[in-house]
Amino acid sequence: MNNNLDIYSMNGINNLAAIPMRREPSDKSEIVNQVLYGETFLILEKQEKWSKIKLHHDKYEGWIDNKQWVLDKRQKTKDKRQHIISSLFKKEKDCIYPLGSLVEFKVPENKKTILQTAKLFLNTPYLWGGRTFMGIDCSGFTQVVFRVHGIKLLRDAYQQATQGKKIKFADAATNDLAFFSNQEGRIIHVGIVIKEKNDIKIIHASGKVRIDKLEARGIFFEATQTYSHQLHSIKRISK
């Protein structure tokens, strides 16, 4: 049974470490995203077992299980101040929050660079829709890394490609975002540029979070001596 709600009057909040967001209201449906601890959202539609939501921070929409969220009853703006977890942080003995979670207590200032934060994810397995150390996809990786440094990115790679200033390959610098397309020209992948003197590399989630060589043609995978992705564009993102 559907219960249509006033989307301006009901908000939810995730009170678990990370929950799956699915394309359709079914346990068998594809996981398209993860909602991290403390993230809030508009409730667009509520069914008996599932709710369709729109995340506040990036407007991403999908379905979540009604057993895995609670109503956000905070009314005043000051009650909704939240701090982004910017390092592995433990509040209580038995409670560890994923990187990028939102909490109501103040956390230590993040003193790492964007690249240092990105390298924390090295060897994290690839997971479509993932946004945690347990599994992450390419755009979830870039979104979380930039988020803990106060930079907002949209969720999917093709959406992130609409942000920032376009940069020539020769002018690429560390922390730029590199986007890659398929044969039809559709953007399907993203990673973070690493520039070391004349050597350009990329840290990205492909099979796992890894560092590979980046060329004007695309990503060169030395193990197989092949190019795995075709470079589309490079963007410079700022706050």
Residues identified as active-site: 138, 189, 204
Specify the amino acid at residue 26.
S
- Sequence-ordered list of residues with C-beta below 8 angstroms from that of 26, at least 6 positions apart, any chain: 50, 63
Please name the residue that has the structure tokens 């909490």: 103
Q: Using an 8 Å Cβ cutoff, are 41 and 11 in contact?
A: yes
Q: How far apart are CA 139 and CA 206, in angstroms?
A: 11
Tokens linked to 165: 């200033």
Q: How far is CA 130 from CA 45, 99, 221, in A?
A: 23, 12, 23
Taking residue 179's Cβ as centre, other Cβ atoms within 10 Å add up to 22
Query: Nearest Cα to 12, choosing from 192, 32, 31, 46?
Result: 46
